[in-house]
Amino acid sequence: MTLQLGDIAPDFEADTTEGRVSFHQWLGNSWGVLFSHPKNYTPVCTTELGYTAKLKPEFDKRNVKAIGLSVDELKDHEGWSKDIAETQGTPLNFPLIADPDFKVANLYGMIHPNASDRFTVRSVFVIDPNKKVRLTLTYPASTGRNFDEILRVIDSLQLTDQYKVATPVNWKPGDDVIIVPSVNNEDAKKLFPGGWNEIKPYLRVVPSPKR
């Protein structure tokens, strides 16, 4: 299955390190980051899960819940969780799905047979409170993900959902933004009374509404 942006994220029930989870119900009115790991007791995954645990205050500020997935058994997650706490300095503080039957992995297209027909790739799905997929990323098993970038994209999505703006290349929170082309100048004057810098008629730069 290939999930595309704007699709409803498939619902599922699964066992996790924090008990049985019904995904849509668990998400509630929060944003979600669902991300898969090829296998338990692997070095790159261990660093990713530890760093995600350290980011919990940042996720909380943005109303985001994180949930990981591995195709190993739940009993294996328990031992691995101890290793993560020991080596990364932070215990797991979000659920880790046990998916030995590939039910969730297949729902979300996390198995890429030409890479491996047994283990998931490093998939990332950002899901909004309406349960729509807003971001998909796929990393190879050998490359750890950039979770700071995932936070940056969530900041952009939440800002652009609220205001009629888009974020330019390498944007960071607080940087200038761009008025979307669908807003004409008359409407832009009402939305942005402080004015903007018109580099081209289609490229109107304005201070971030959340500076």
The CA distance from 186 to 171, in Å, is 26
Could you give the residue numbers annotated as active site? 45
Residue carrying structure tokens 């008629």: 201
Two tokens at 102?
């590939």
Rounded Cα distance, 13 and 32, in Å: 15
- Beta pairing partners, 161: none
- Cα–Cα dist 174/210, whole Å: 7
Find all residues with CB under 8 Å of 187, minimum gap 6, and list them.
none
| Nearest one of 108, 140, 141, 110 to 127, comparing CA atoms | 108
Token pair listed for 167 = 């974020």
SS3 label, residue 106: helix
136: which 2 tokens? 């998909």
